[in-house]
Structure 1
Amino acid sequence: MRKLYILAVLVLFLGGYALSVYRLETVLAEGKTILLPLAPVDPRAPLMGDYMALRYVVNNDIRNALRRQSAAQSAGQKAAQMNAENGGGTDGSASSPTASANSRNIDDESRNAEGFAVLRITNDPVPHAASFVRLDDGSPLQADEFLLAYRLRGYEVLTAATAFYFQEGTAHQYAGAKFGVFKLAPDGKTLLVGLM
Structure 2
Amino acid sequence: MRTPIIFGGLALVLVAVGTLVVQKEHVLARGTPLLLELAPVDPRSLMQGDYMVLDYAVSREARPNEGTEPEQGRLVLRRDESDVGHFVRVEAPGTVLAPGEMWLNYKVRQGRVRLGAESFFFQEGHADHYAKAKYGELRVAEDGSSVLVGLRDAERQPLGSPEP
Pick the TM interval, shorter chain: 0.7 to 0.9
Question: Aligned residue for 1:76?
Answer: none
Normalising by the residue count of structure 1, what TM-score does the alignment of the two structures yield? 0.68
* Mapping for residues 28-177 of structure 1, pairs under 5 Å: 28-41=28-41, 46-48=42-44, 49-63=49-63, 66-67=64-65, 107=67, 110=68, 113-123=71-81, 127-137=82-92, 138-177=94-133
Query: For residue 22 of structure 1, what is the amino acid of its counterpart?
Result: V
Higher helix share: 1
Deviations 1:134-158 (A, max 9, x none): 1112332122110111112242111
Return 5+ residue gaps in structure 2 as ranges. 153-164
In 2: Cα distance, 1:24 partner to 1:33 partner? 14
Of structures 1 and 2, the larger Rg is shown by: 1
Which SS does the other structure have where 2:123 is aligned? Answer: coil
Deviations 1:46-104 (A, max 9, x none): 321410121111011101xx33xx7xxxxxxxxxxxxxxxxxxxxxxxxxxxxxxxxxx
Deviation for aligned residue 1:131 = 0.4
Return 5+ residue gaps in structure 1 as ranges. 71-106
Which 4+ residue blocks in structure 1 deviate beyond 4 angstroms?
none
Query: For residue 125 of structure 2, what is the amino acid of its counterpart?
Result: G
Q: Is the 8 A contact 1:31 1:183 kept in 2?
A: yes
Number of residue equivalences: 147
Q: Is the 8 A contact 2:134 2:151 kept in 1?
A: yes
Alignment RMSD: 1.9
Query: For residue 106 of structure 2, what is the amino acid of its counterpart?
Result: Y
Deviation for aligned residue 1:171 = 2.1
Deviations 1:106-150 (A, max 9, x none): x3xx47611211100113xxx211101111123321221101111
Which SS does the other structure have where 1:47 is aligned? Answer: coil
Q: Is the 8 A contact 1:111 1:155 kept in 2?
A: no
Question: Aligned residue for 1:78?
Answer: none
Query: For residue 47 of structure 1, what is the amino acid of its counterpart?
Result: P
In 2: Cα distance, 1:155 partner to 1:132 partner? 18
Q: Is the 8 A contact 1:112 1:154 kept in 2?
A: no
Deviation for aligned residue 1:21 = 1.1
Q: Is the 8 A contact 2:102 2:142 kept in 1?
A: no
Percentage of identical aligned residues: 40
Question: Aligned residue for 1:181?
Answer: 137
Higher strand share: 2
Question: Aligned residue for 1:104?
Answer: none
Q: Relative to 1, partners in 2 of residues 1:146 and 1:112: Cα closer, same or farther, differing over 3 Å?
A: closer
In 2: Cα distance, 1:154 partner to 1:175 partner? 25
